[in-house]
Every structure is written in C-alpha cells, then in structure tokens.
Structure 1
Amino acid sequence: MFCFNLFPQADTNYKITYQLTYKPDSTDLAQLKTENFQLFTNAKTSYFLSNAVVSKDSTRRNFGIGDIGSDAYKRAAASWETNFSYRIYKKPLEELVYHCEKIATDNFYYAEDVHFDWQIGQETKTIEGFSTQKATTSFAGRDYTAWFAAAIPISDGPYKFYGLPGLILEIESTDGDYRFTMIGIEKTSFYPVVNTPPKSLQKATKKELLRLQQEYYDDPIGFLNNWVGSNGASVHIGLEGKAKQDHYAKYGKQLAPKMNNFIEIY
C-alpha cells in the first residue's frame, strides 16, 4: 500500500491520516464511534486536527457570505460534525505542545511541556505492511500501548503523542476507550503551518481555557450574550421561548451524556 521510498529525508512534509475509534459515553461503553484525523508533520513541527475541522476550513474558504444557507453550503456543512474541535501543534525537538480551541469568535491556545516516558519492548507486529515495535507510556490519566515503525523516520504520532524512533502507526489506551490507527500516508507540498502556534491565537492557561469552555458549554446563549471578542465586538443572541429551548436542546447541557469520556482524564 505504501512505498518505502516515501521516506528518504526526515525533513520532508507528510500528511498522515489516522482513524480514531473511541467510546464517547462513559455510561454506555458498548457504544463505539469513529472519526478520521490528519497529521501534517516534518522534522521540526506538526499539526493535528479532525477531518471535520479541515472540511470546515475548506468550506469557509470556498464559499462567500452570500452562499450561507444555500443547498451547496448546507451539504458541505454536513461534514463539520465532530466531538474534537481542537487543533494540536507540536515542536517535538523542544518537547512543546500547543492545544488550540475556538470559543465564540476567538481562538485560544495553551502551551504544555510534554515529555513521554516511553518503554520500548521487543514485541513486533505488521501494520499496513510495515514492521512495528511495541512501546508503552502514560499520559493524562491513561496508560497506552503504541506500535511504531522505525522504517519511517518521523518521531511523531496522533494527538499529542511523539518521541519514539519512528512514526506511531497505532496507539490505544489500555482500557480500550481510545485507539488511533494510521490508514494513509503521503508526501505533500502543502504544509498548513507557518508559525507554531499561529500568531493570531490568544495565549491562555489550560485552567483558563477549560473554564471558558465550561462556561460556554453550560450556558451558550448567556455566554455569547456577554462575550466581548478580541476585536472589541460583542455578540447578542436574542432567543426567547421555544427558540431558546431548541437552541439548548441542540447545543446545551442535554448533550452531556453523549460526550463525557474525554481522552485526557486530568
């Protein structure tokens, strides 16, 4: 499926596609969902995000304001559904990870010093035609088993994982709640990262970002009605009665049972 001569230089740009299989609801662990992600990576930086976020970015580039509400726009917007709106930027050589989220009209990020204590074992298995080796680690409250391919000289992987002597082709939490598996890899001349993190983002602490997310999640209408964005503009949504109820039904606390089993426990 893949050619070894894809990897003659470690500083080449690659686009790697992963499929995530996960259990979104801690009260219903029999429920499984899948979603695809893209990792853009080279020797110095990497960028990880959901295909749904990629689709949303593309739609916004290809449609103007006048297209909003059109059938074509609605069809494109149907691919935006995701439980993972984050964007992850990494500088592996500096052991830095930047977690980015959009809240209301502004984009925020927090920086983390992330070092993985990998334990490399002797066990091997073949994934997508590549010989891989087993490694284990712990991160944010979960233990993980990873399989990396030393033949692919990219010390990177999905989400915030990196640091092995080869690309991570598969990584799964030992409780089985989260598993990323590589399903595609290619060289690319397109690399969507100029600055890591982008200069347009606002810096916050992890605690501040989580607090803003929670406030928006608990009362999206109230949050937006009182929000003042980075450009000084305020947002007001005058929803009352059934319209307000319908908005809460779609975006508010009623969604809590559907996505409460987060990849990071702490």
Structure 2
Amino acid sequence: MKKILTLIFITILCIGNAQNSAHRFFYELSYRPNKDSMRYEKETMILDIDKHQSVYQSYELTVLDSLSNDIVSKSENGTMPDFSTVQDRKPISFSHRIFKKYPIQNVLYTDVVFNDDYSYLETPSITWTISNEKRKMGNYVVQKAETAYGGRQWTAWFTTDLPFQDGPYKFYGLPGLIIQIEDTEKNYSWELKGNRKINQIKNILLLEKFNKKNSNSGMRQLSKEKFEEKYNEYKKDPFAQIRQMASQLPSDMKLPDGSSVTDGMREADKRAKEMAKRNNNSIEIPHKN
C-alpha cells in the first residue's frame, strides 16, 4: 500500500511539473537598423510560452541574466560582484520585453530608458486576412495571412501543427503559431529556427529586481504615447541624466586615461547621438502629430 501511494504521489508530481513546463521558440530577426541603408543585422529573439502566458525578448537578455545571477551567487558576502565579463559582451540591440497573458486581451510592453524601467499596456489593433495559400516551411505546413500594424503591412505564415495562437513581438490572433512574419518592405523579418522545452518562464530579470530595489518608483507604467515621448527625448539627448550627475563632480577630476571628465562626456555624448541617428528604423513607425 505504501509503495502504491508513493507511486501515485510521484505520478502526480510529474504531471504537475509537466503542466508547469514551458516551450521556448527561437526566432531569427533580420532587420535594417537604418532606413537609409540596405545593411541588415540579425538578432536571436525568443518566445517563451506556457499555459498561462508568453514572454518575448532578446535571447541575449536571458544569457546576460543567467551570467549575472551566476556572478552574484559566486561573490563572497559583503563583496561587490565583478561584472566586468558581462560588460565586455556585445551590446543588446533590443532591450524590450513583451508579455501576453492568456486569453490575450492586451500586451504589456516593458523597456529600459537610460536606467529607468517603463511599461505600457496596449490592445493592438491587429485584423488578419487569412489566405487559402499554403506551403511547407521546414517541418510545418504553413498558411498565409496578412495584416496592417504599426504603420507597416505584414505578411505572416502560421501553422496549426503547434497548439499556440501566438507569435513574435506583439503579433497574435491567428489559429496557430506564427512561423515567419515580415513587412512588405522587408525592414523586419522573424523566422522560427527551433524550439525546446524549459522549466519555467522567468518574468523578472536580475537587473529589473535591482532597479526595483534601488528605485523609489520601480517599474513606471505610462500610456503608449507618453512612453514614445520619453523614448524620443532619450534618443535626442542620451546623456542628459549622466550630464546632470557629472555636474556634481569636481571640475578638475580626471578619467583613468588622464583626460578631463568634461572631454570624456563630450566624446561619449557625440558617439551616443551618432548611434541614435544610425538606428532610426524602428519596428513601428512613430505617429506624427
């Protein structure tokens, strides 16, 4: 009898763990950072799905989070963790995270502007026109669908072979998982490259925990319009907050290379503004008032 009860308990535990598991879908995002150039870049994005929600983000965000947690756990009590290895990694092109709770009624978009966490809720106006056109894409039979969103026209290919009515970025609402989607001018294109099971979805990253702990405001939720205003202000003057903090430093203070703080700030500010100008082709075309 005891063995039977033990077997039943283990079976229930295994079923529970299986129900709590999640699927991770890897998408290759090919995009043009600059609307005046035909140069393309690529980034691996992921869509984590369980029975309650999905989370879309750059794969590099999860890698950095894992490395940071490992560094913190290995640091001795009372000592400052050494994040130098993390800082030397390639900068993340996309820092936003997008949450969809099932059944999907809206999406939660979160991002970091300078050192502050912001979010907004949106109910995307996405109306699909589903075609009868089908074809084979990898291991899946896919069907064509089209929509307009964010100032662009999009063509998607979805499959009913996978029981998820979701997709990368903010896209959802088709009777299957989106395998590929791109805009008609090929500025942005997502294509599914693989998938695997993961134990669970991680909703809060280490950096978000740190910011929440060390900020009185935590994650600030704005309207989408206010968020876009805040983000545009940041792109116009990326070093505004740093400049304000640097103004409190002694005027004769030197950087490690011997140059003045003022000269260093001026050069860094110039590079940041040049980078913002080069990355002028956002996924959604901003509204013009």
Distance 1:167 1:10, change over 3 A: farther
Residue number among 252, 271, 274 corresponding to 1:254 in the alignment: 274
Residue number among 138, 148, 151 corresponding to 2:148 in the alignment: 138
Cross-structure match for 1:124 = 134
CA deviations on 1:212-240 (whole Å, 9 max, x unpaired) are 222322223322455xxxxxxxx557574
Distance 1:148 1:126, change over 3 A: same
Does residue 84 in structure 1 map to residue 94 in structure 2? yes
Residue number among 29, 48, 60 corresponding to 1:52 in the alignment: 60
Any idea what SS the aligned residue of 1:67 has? Answer: coil
Report how far residue 77 of structure 1 moved. Answer: 3.5
Cross-structure match for 1:265 = 285
Residue number among 49, 59, 68 corresponding to 2:83 in the alignment: 68
Alpha-carbon contact 2:68-2:83 (below 8 Å) kept: no
Residue number among 168, 179, 182 corresponding to 1:158 in the alignment: 168
Cross-structure match for 2:46 = 38
Matched AA of 1:241: T
Does residue 213 in structure 1 map to residue 227 in structure 2? no
Aligned residue pair count: 240
Alpha-carbon contact 1:156-1:162 (below 8 Å) kept: yes
Alpha-carbon contact 1:52-1:81 (below 8 Å) kept: no
Matched AA of 1:20: L
Provide the TM-score with structure 2 as the length reference. Answer: 0.75
Report how far residue 172 of structure 1 moved. Answer: 0.8
Q: How does 1:183-262 map to 2 (within 5 A)?
A: 183-193=193-203, 201-226=219-244, 235-236=245-246, 238=249, 240-250=261-271, 252-262=272-282
Structure 1 residue ranges without an equivalent (≥5): 1-8, 227-234
Any idea what SS the aligned residue of 1:93 has? Answer: coil
CA deviations on 1:88-114 (whole Å, 9 max, x unpaired) are 111252421111011233211000012
Partners in 1 of 2:20 and 2:68 — Cα distance? 30
Distance 1:94 1:66, change over 3 A: closer
Provide the TM-score with structure 1 as the length reference. Answer: 0.81
Alpha-carbon contact 2:243-2:265 (below 8 Å) kept: no
Matched AA of 2:235: Y
Cross-structure match for 2:75 = none
Cross-structure match for 1:149 = 159
Alpha-carbon contact 2:21-2:200 (below 8 Å) kept: no
CA RMSD in angstroms, aligned pairs only: 2.4
Cross-structure match for 1:26 = 35
Distance 1:11 1:189, change over 3 A: closer
Q: By percentage of residues, which structure has more helix?
A: 2
Distance 1:12 1:51, change over 3 A: closer
Partners in 2 of 1:18 and 1:12 — Cα distance? 20
Partners in 2 of 1:66 and 1:85 — Cα distance? 22
Alpha-carbon contact 2:154-2:182 (below 8 Å) kept: yes
Any idea what SS the aligned residue of 2:239 has? Answer: helix
Partners in 2 of 1:17 and 1:79 — Cα distance? 20
Q: Percent identity?
A: 28
Partners in 2 of 1:50 and 1:56 — Cα distance? 10
Structure 2 residue ranges without an equivalent (≥5): 1-17, 73-79, 213-217, 250-259
Partners in 1 of 2:115 and 2:82 — Cα distance? 20
Matched AA of 1:247: A
Alpha-carbon contact 1:92-1:162 (below 8 Å) kept: no
Any idea what SS the aligned residue of 1:261 has? Answer: coil
Partners in 2 of 1:245 and 1:22 — Cα distance? 30
